[in-house]
Amino acid sequence: MNLRMNKFHSEILECIKQNSGTPTQHTYLDSYLGNSNARYPINMPTLRIIAKEWIALNNRVSAIEFQKFIDSLIRGKSSTEKTMAGILLGYSTKEQRKFDPSCFDTWLEHLVGWAEIDSVCTGPYSTTEIYGNWKIWNPLLVKFSKSKNSSKRRASLVLLCSPMRKAANKEIAHLAFSNINRLKAEREILITKAISWLLRSMIKHHKKEVAAYVNENEASLPAIAFRETMIVLKTGKKTK
């Protein structure tokens, strides 16, 4: 058992176990998801039900206690626990979200592969908190984009996807282009796909800027990012 596991972690892990079976590892999934962490055979709808029920019963848990709970889950042995952390962040209350965002700097040390990173870094939490705490998030995201840790470099991009889809914001868009520019020379799929995702997420509210950027940087952008972004710009859809 994880020595840092707190009571909430223990309770929700028991609930996961009661609704699944023995955690497993699969060579194909390991390769696809980018890590070899064990996964419980439980579907996403069931995980969401468990998370919603926990929030409903514990909506008065303080931000500090909630942060400790999420920290414990992210340090858990299975990808399922880490995924549950992201789901809970999405359903958390306004008060529970008032923890220091710098926690992500530590959390990303324990997330490997696109599935774990994205489950924690995208969704309702990033939308509300990045807009609401921009003075804190701005330097943190710049720091992530310069990290030697590829999980943090991906996070510097995908954390901006949900906010960019939600509304137009010139400051956040400026940072998005800046981080993309800093990372566009990389050819690791963890980064190239994230660049594509962020550019496509910006199209709804910053279409002209995205079109100008990809046309000016066609030669230097990852081919997949240029191709997928151009398809959405031309058709409004992810694929032809």
pLDDT band at 26 (very low <50, low <70, confident <90, very high): low
User: Residue 125 pLDDT more than 50?
Assistant: yes
Give the angle 154-66-135 at the CA atoms, nearest 5°.
50
End-to-end CA, the chain: 48
Tell me the pLDDT tens digit for each residue of 195-220: 999 999 999 999 999 999 999 999 99
Q: What are the chain's domains?
A: 1-99 (no CATH), 112-240 (1.25.10.90)
The percentage of residues in the chain with a pLDDT greater than 70, rounded to a whole number, is 93
pLDDT band at 1 (very low <50, low <70, confident <90, very high): very low
In this prediction the pTM is 0.92
User: Residue 187 pLDDT more than 50?
Assistant: yes
- Write down the pLDDT at residue 140: 98
The SS3 call for residue 15 is helix
Q: How far apart are CA 108 and CA 215, in angstroms?
A: 33
- Write down the pLDDT at residue 33: 65
74, 204, 211, 217 from 176: Cα distances, Å: 26, 14, 14, 15
Q: Check: CB of residue 123 under 8 Å from CB of residue 92.
A: no
User: Residue 233 pLDDT more than 70?
Assistant: yes
